[in-house]
Amino acid sequence: MDLESLLPTLLGLAWLLPLASFVIILFAGPRLGDHGKGAAGVATAAIVGSFVLSLVAFVSWVAEHPVRAVAHGDHGEAHASADPAHGATGHAPAEEHGHGETGHAAAPPHSSGDWYTLYEGGRLKLSIGWYIDALTVLMFVMITFIATCIHVYASGYMHDELHDITDHEVHLSDGGHLHRPGRFHRFFQALSLFCFSMLGIVIAGNLAMVFIFWELVGICSWFLIGFYYERKSASNAANKAFIVNRIGDFGMLIGLMALWGALGTLHFADSTGADGHVRQGLFSQVRPPDTGHFQRVPDGLVKFSAADRVAAVLKEHADDPRAGVEKVEAKVEDWRDEGYGRWLLLIAGLGIFCGCVGKSAQFPLFVWLPDAMEGPTPVSALVHSATMVAAGVYLVGRFYPVLTPDALLVIAYVGAITLFISATIALVANDIKRVLAYSTVSQLGYMMLALGVGGWLAGLFHLVTHAFFKSLLFLCSGSVIHACHTNDMRKMGGLAKVMPWTSGTMLVGCLAIIGAGVPFLDIGLSGYYSKDSILAQALLFSRENPSHSILFYAVAGGAMLTAFYMFRLWFMTFAGEPRDHHVHEHAHESPPVMVYPLVALAILAVVSGWTLPGGFGIANMLEQARPAGTGETELGRFLFSGLVVPAEHESHAHDIHVTASLVAFATAATGVLLAAAMYVWRVISPAAVAAAVKPVYTFLANRWYFDEIYRFLFVLPVLGFSRLVSGVDKGLIDRFIEGLAWGAKQVAGFDAWIDRTLIDGLVNGTANATWNAGYELKKVQTGQLRQYVMFIALGTVAIFVLAGLLFRSSIAG
Amino acid sequence: MMVFGVTCACLPSAIPLPPCLGIVPLFGANPFTDPIGLIHYLIVGAVLFTAGVACMALKRNALGILMGIELVLNGANINFVAFSSPYLRAEGTPTLGLDGQVVALFVILLAAAEAAVALAITLNFYNNHATVDVDRADDLKG
Amino acid sequence: MADFLIGLGLPGWIAWSIAALVAAVLLLNVIAGGALVFIWAERKIAARIQDRLGPTRTGGRFGWLQSLADGIKLLAKEDLMPEGADGLLFRLAPYVSFCASFCAFIALPFAFDVVGQRLNVGVFFVVAVLGLEVFGVILAGYASASKWSLFGAMREAAQVVSYEVPLGMCVVVPVMLAGTMDLVTIGEKQAGWMSNWYLFHDPFTFVIFWVYVTCAVASVNRAPFDLAEAESELVAGFHTEYSGLRWSFFFMAEYGSMFLVSALAAVLFLGGWNGPVPVARLLGFSDGTGDTAAYAVRLLGIANLIGKATFGVLLMMWIRWTLPRLRIDQVMTTCLKYCTPIAAAMFAGVMLWQLFLPGGLVPGWGRPAGEIREGWLEGPGGLSGGIRSAADPAAPVDLVKRSPR
Amino acid sequence: MTGMLDMDISFLTHAVGPAMAHLSAPGLPLAALPVAGINWHSVLFLLFAALACGFAVGVVAADNVVRMALYLVFSLGATAGLFFLAGAEFIGAMQLMIYVGGTLVLLVFGVMLTAQAPLVSIKPSASDRTLAAVAGASLLALLLTASLSVDAWLKPGSAVVPAPSATPLGMALVGVRVDDPPSASPAGGRTGYMLPFEIVSVHLLVVLVGAAYLARAKRRRTPRALDAVAAAMPVDVESPVAVGSAPVGRTSGGSKSALVGGGR
């Protein structure tokens, strides 16, 4: 059993371990140790286990597919670095150079298959399966490592929850604070579930499975944000996050349905059924290997949108359906040229991107992330910096081959907008976690922009590095908060002396995020390398498409802003005089269990960007996973006809590379100096600047009024409409029904009256009449025998007299 | 007039005689010599019957009523016998023949039976109520 | 009698009425004379039975005028009426009683055709009239306003009424034998030798004769059955309050009915006016021929009848002074439990006898009793054809066919 | 007042007339009698009719129960006479024997037993009298007008009195209609009376048993009932005729006669 076939099992196990821990904590949570203390142990053990498994998988993958330097520098041609990969069930990519430029013809080495088939009907197949390539392995290692650090950190951070807590932020109606028992085990229960679902997204073999875990992740973020659900703000934030994500998922569903309906499959890779029938995955349908992975509208989409033509043809051949089908197949090529199916492909791409917008907090749907800071800090660190928000970028990266150039441009612009907005808001934010949240949003904007401008490697590389230093920053802020018991930076200051480890690691984080490095020697922290590649790709793109050069300037400006607010944060927190003495005395260095993860992450934040002399580095490993056919320059032929999506390797050209790093260095330096001037040397007083650009300051302070806008655009109309509807309901329908009821009552009343007077009257009347008559007649019976005789006599006389009178004639005769 | 004289005499003067009985001429001058016809018997029968009914209607004594019944029955018997005897009719007119007499016979027999039972009842009534005053026996009134 | 008078030129209806009067007076004397003789006889027999002499001084050797003396005494006595008595009824009672017994003599044949009125329903008439005597008794008892007399009357009435039933049954037997209720016919049927008397017709009739005697004694309130006058308890019974002439009427009524009952027995069972030996027939007289012979035969018949009747009366007197008095329940028992059943049985016996032995035990010994039947039985057409067609109902229906002598 | 006596005489005349004629010739038609002479049949009829009606009215008029009983006896006796005059001799005898001799005796018994002092004569009120009179008069009027209105009945009778015989009646009772043989009458003769005769006999038996049972001697439940009644009797009772010493226990106003029961 060679290592290759072990991959799915290894990663499968790594994926399921957190689920096991979740189930254990769910059922035996409170009983694990006193007050559930053991839950942390179980969860940490599980995540460490899956981290080890991921490392084993990583080593086996590297052994299988040695990572060699990719033409990092100038030479333009790509050389097939991947020797023929044969996945356990993968198919040997036929290597042939079809298409014009030397596209990277060979499909990336990957392994895919299904563990369990939920449903198989006709072409449709729903199954739990995997799609493992270099990216998956790397993501597994990254996620499990960070999760481990956070589990360790959290077991220290959350010890308050071990015993009864009086929650000061919850004000009961009687004025007191909420007293509640601790919920230590529940935190780790939700955390384990989250890790399980995050790993599920990464390992998923088809979009349906991705969607399932997509939702699961949403639920876990809801649990974790709403951990202190008694606090009004926490529960609102949780709901807000979940709802906004759901809005994004709405778009994603549309995309899914488009793909599912037209192509009939959601699997990424091809799979051979039991009967040997090869079922084409999404990638091979959109970029058929036989045409050199050149992106075209797949047959399914064409036939789907040209349904009327298909019907016409079939009708013609009603008598011979088989002939009809062949005719249709023949006609597909013509229909594709006529442009059938292009819109559908675009919609599918953008649909899936909507999901990512929601999940990764891009431009319209980023409002939930800053509020998500209500959750405990470890949550913010893991979920809302490294993993969940990265899922969106990962999905765009995974789904990259299907995205058309037009879609990519849209993605780029969305990224740019997000980048700019969140950076500006971060400038004026005073809550330490809010600043970090906005920085996360802007960094995600960077990644989206990178992917949008064709920088597949740049975007994903920045994803990985950002994960490390952003989680580091969050954990540092967590320990600061833990020490100062407040989030407000204005109360902090001069904590460096009190918390050396935290301030040091935080400084490393800050340097990493601003991309500190020596331009020419090409030496710097991880941020430098990833941010630099993004800048390069953006520069190349703006050169290729001058009309879209705004994207490059956005990136540059963003970099400068990032540098400024990061160091503003650092200086306000650690440098200068302590603003609040009370906080200052109270501050103390965090316990070791919290500091060790910080150090670990700091190391990684520095190291992750480097590429070892043998070519082993994250960048090169990612290159192995580049989807087939995406290495070349693509030309937009649909909406934006003049669009050119430059191949990424061109961005490695020396001139672009150098200019990009110079620009990066300059912007970073200016940002830092500006921050120092304002907060360390106090040359410029931030208050004065704020006063000077008062309207802009308040505009930014209110977070671009996005919350108000959304409230105004969506919440109020809905509330208004619902109030209208309830009004209508109350006023109209209720009134109508009450009217009906009243009418019925009146009718019933009248009916009852009739019944009483008329019918009862009649009946009783006759009864009484009969009784009275009987009573009167009774008197005739006097009991006197003599009178009876008298009556008899008189009776006979009367009868005879009558007879005599009446029948006079007959008697006389 | 003699015949009716008799009937008039019999009726207590208190009872006003209906004037309609002006049928005297029908009977010829001397009833003594003329043969008796059916009508005479009918009249006697009627008188007896009426006396019977009057007695039943008048007497408060149970036995008086029984006597009234006897009179009524006899009135009927006279009519039966009268209609059955060939001598009271003109020659050859069809009569009841023996039937009348047989019926009269049965009436007499059954009257005996009836009287027996009636007296038994009366005696019982007397023993229970110590009186035969019929008016007192009005328990069965309405 | 009437023809004789008509012959004298009297108008028909006067003749009829005179004849009727004569007959009535004759019968009245029979009763009165009888009463006298029997009163005296009673006194003498009672004395003789009680071993004493009886009246001897009044009127001659054997005190035969004693009854005359009694009569004069009674006439002289004041007719009292008790204070609470019901005047009308009190006075009327004796006469009702006397009329009843006297009325019965109408139908009694003393000799062939010597009878007050030959009634077709003679026997029935006599029994009916006997029934009327009860009224007299009841009225007397009731009218004399005394508890004892009322009791006496009640007892006597009950006794007479109840004994009427067996009496009627006994009487029916000779009627059945004779086939008719006409006493004269019955008498005729027993003409001839003594053996022809119904008494000896068959054993049943013999037994029924004695039942008849018992009932007769009871219905006349004599001897063992004379509860009404039981001295020890009810003084003189219903006629306690009576005195004088009224009492004598009661007395005459009693003796009259005794004589009547005995005479009836004689006619029905002992051949009436036919002596034990058919002397007239033997001497060649036939009652239908000349007047004087008819008279002689009739006189013999009358003598025969009166002799038998007297014997009956004397028998009763004899019984009276020998048998003790019965209690009222014993009286009733003998009536209902003995007389009636025996009478019924004998009646059935006689009927069967007639059916099986019409000619009598020894054919030809006696004249067959059943040969005389009304005409309609043997007439043409069997049972039903005898009667002349009803077409002319006026034609007299001669229902009685003279039997060949 | 010798009603009974008259009755007897009637038989004599009745018997004398036809009987004498009978002696000479069977069934002398009365019509043949000399017209000038008194028609005894009519005379007797008038006598008996007068007696019957008179005593019938007497019964109605009398208040004293005993008197009523007596008048009834005489009235029914007269009726028996009428039957004899109408030629129904057997019926007349039966009337005398059963009706007068039996039923009325029974009735008189009833009178005797119940006619204690207070109950003897209960005078009906004047209103009752008038009411009865009215009813009687109207009934009488009705009957008379009805009977007079039929001409056939008005014709005088043929007054032929054949020697009546009870045999046809006896035969009829046994079921053989000798008087109206089937061959003669158009309607095929009249039926005999066998069945009714038997039924009546059974009926009489049943009545006998019933009456005996009804009148069985029961222990007197209310010994002193009479006193209570006596006390409570309505006032309108005529001065009570001290009829014998009623078992009321009052000192008997009874016989003062010293007549000792006759030596008989």
Q: Are residues B58 and B9 in the same domain?
A: no
Chain D hits for C385, Cβ within 8 Å: 181, 183
Q: Are residues B28 and B44 in the same domain?
A: no
Q: Is B95 on the interface with D (CB under 8 A)?
A: no
At D23 the pLDDT is 36
Q: Which residue has the higher pLDDT, A409 or C118?
A: A409
Residues 36-65 of B with CB under 8 A from D: 36-44, 46-55, 57-64
Is B141 among the domain residues? no
At C385 the pLDDT is 34
Contact A149, A475 (CB under 8 A): yes
- Which range marks the domain in which residue A804 is found? 782-813
How far does the CA of residue D95 sit from the closest CA of chain B (Å)?
Answer: 7
Q: Which of B134, B139, B142 shows the shortest C-beta gap to A778?
A: B142
Q: Is D142 on the interface with A (CB under 8 A)?
A: yes
How many domains does chain A divide into?
A: 2
Q: Do chains A and C touch (3 or more CB pairs under 8 A)?
A: no
Computed over its alpha carbons, how large is the radius of gyration of chain D?
24
Q: Is A780 on the interface with B (CB under 8 A)?
A: yes
Q: Are residues B24 and B73 in the same domain?
A: no
Q: Are residues B4 and B42 in the same domain?
A: no
Q: What is the pLDDT of residues A354-384, one digit of tens each?
A: 999 999 999 888 889 988 888 888 888 888 8
How far does the CA of residue B15 sit from the closest CA of chain A (Å)?
Answer: 16
Q: Which of A786, A797, A812 shows the shortest C-beta gap to D139?
A: A797
- Picking from A564, D190, A54, the residue whose alpha carbon sits closest to that of residue C387 is D190
Residue A730 DSSP label: I
Tokens 């590297």 found at: A62
How many domains does chain B divide into?
A: 2
Burial of residue A622, with CB atoms counted within 10 A of its CB: 0-12 exposed, 13-18 middle, 19 or more buried: buried
Q: Are residues A750 and A730 in the same domain?
A: yes
Q: What is the pLDDT of residues A14-33, one digit of tens each?
A: 999 999 999 999 998 888 87
Interface C:D, Cβ pairs < 8 A: 266
Chain D hits for B106, Cβ within 8 Å: 196, 200
Q: Which residue has the higher pLDDT, D253 or D58?
A: D58
- Sign (positive or negative) of CA dihedral A783, A787, A793, A798: negative
Is D231 among the domain residues? yes
At C292 the pLDDT is 75
Indicate whether A743 pLDDT > 90: yes
Calculate helix-pair angle for A3-28, A37-64, nearest 10 degrees. 170
ipTM value, please give it. 0.66
Q: Are residues B30 and B42 in the same domain?
A: no
Average pLDDT, chain A: 85
At D184 the pLDDT is 64
d(CA A393, CA A411): 11
Contact (CB<8Å) D20/C16: yes
Q: Which residue has the higher pLDDT, C178 or C362?
A: C178
d(CA C242, CA A761): 79
Q: Is A812 on the interface with D (CB under 8 A)?
A: yes
Distances (CA, A) of A273 to A9, A113, A637: 20, 10, 36
d(CA B46, CA B49): 5
Contact (CB<8Å) A811/D139: no
At A443 the pLDDT is 92
Q: What is the pLDDT of residues A278-297, one digit of tens each?
A: 888 888 888 888 877 888 88
pLDDT band, very low/low/confident/very high, at D263 (cuts 50, 70, 90): very low
- Which range marks the domain in which residue D251 is found? 224-262
Q: Which of D4, D66, D180 shows the shortest C-beta gap to C86?
A: D66
Residue D60 — φ and ψ, nearest 5°? -65, -40
Is A731 among the domain residues? yes
At C212 the pLDDT is 93
Contact (CB<8Å) B142/A784: no
Q: Are residues B54 and B119 in the same domain?
A: yes
pLDDT band, very low/low/confident/very high, at A242 (cuts 50, 70, 90): very high
Is B58 among the domain residues? yes
Interface A:D, Cβ pairs < 8 A: 24
Q: Are residues B40 and B74 in the same domain?
A: yes
How many helices and strands, by DSSP H and E, does chain D display? 11, 0
Is D51 among the domain residues? no
d(CA D142, CA D24): 46
> A252-261, A423-432, A528-537, C393-402: which range is least confident on average?
C393-402
Contact A101, A646 (CB under 8 A): no
Question: Domain of B81: which CATH number?
Answer: 1.10.287.3510
Contact C228, C153 (CB under 8 A): yes
Give the pLDDT mean for A70-88.
39
Q: What is the pLDDT of residues D86-123, one digit of tens each?
A: 888 888 888 988 898 888 888 888 888 777 666 667 77
Indicate whether C66 pLDDT > 50: yes
Is A713 among the domain residues? yes
Q: Which of D96, D164, D257 shows the shortest C-beta gap to C120?
A: D164
Chain B hits for A777, Cβ within 8 Å: 142
Q: Are residues B68 and B128 in the same domain?
A: yes
> A405-414, B86-95, D11-20: which range is least confident on average?
D11-20
Q: Which residue has the higher pLDDT, D253 or C219?
A: C219
Is D253 among the domain residues? yes
- Sign (positive or negative) of CA dihedral A335, A337, A343, A345: positive
- Sign (positive or negative) of CA dihedral B27, B31, B34, B38: positive
Q: Are residues B50 and B116 in the same domain?
A: yes
Indicate whether C342 pLDDT > 90: yes
Q: Do chains B and C touch (3 or more CB pairs under 8 A)?
A: yes
Contact B63, A785 (CB under 8 A): no
Q: What is the pLDDT of residues D162-218, one digit of tens each?
A: 666 777 888 888 877 777 666 666 666 677 888 888 999 999 999 989 988 887 877
- Which range marks the domain in which residue B25 is found? 1-34
Q: What is the pLDDT of residues D214-240, one digit of tens each?
A: 878 776 555 555 666 666 766 654 555
Is A774 among the domain residues? yes
Distances (CA, A) of D233 to A613, D128, D229, D236: 155, 19, 6, 9
At A193 the pLDDT is 93
Distances (CA, A) of D210 to A752, B122, C361, D108: 62, 14, 44, 20
At A92 the pLDDT is 37
Is A479 among the domain residues? no
Contact (CB<8Å) B141/A789: no
Contact (CB<8Å) D64/C117: no
Contact (CB<8Å) D146/A800: yes
Give the CA angle between residues A656, A657, A661 to the nearest 5°.
115
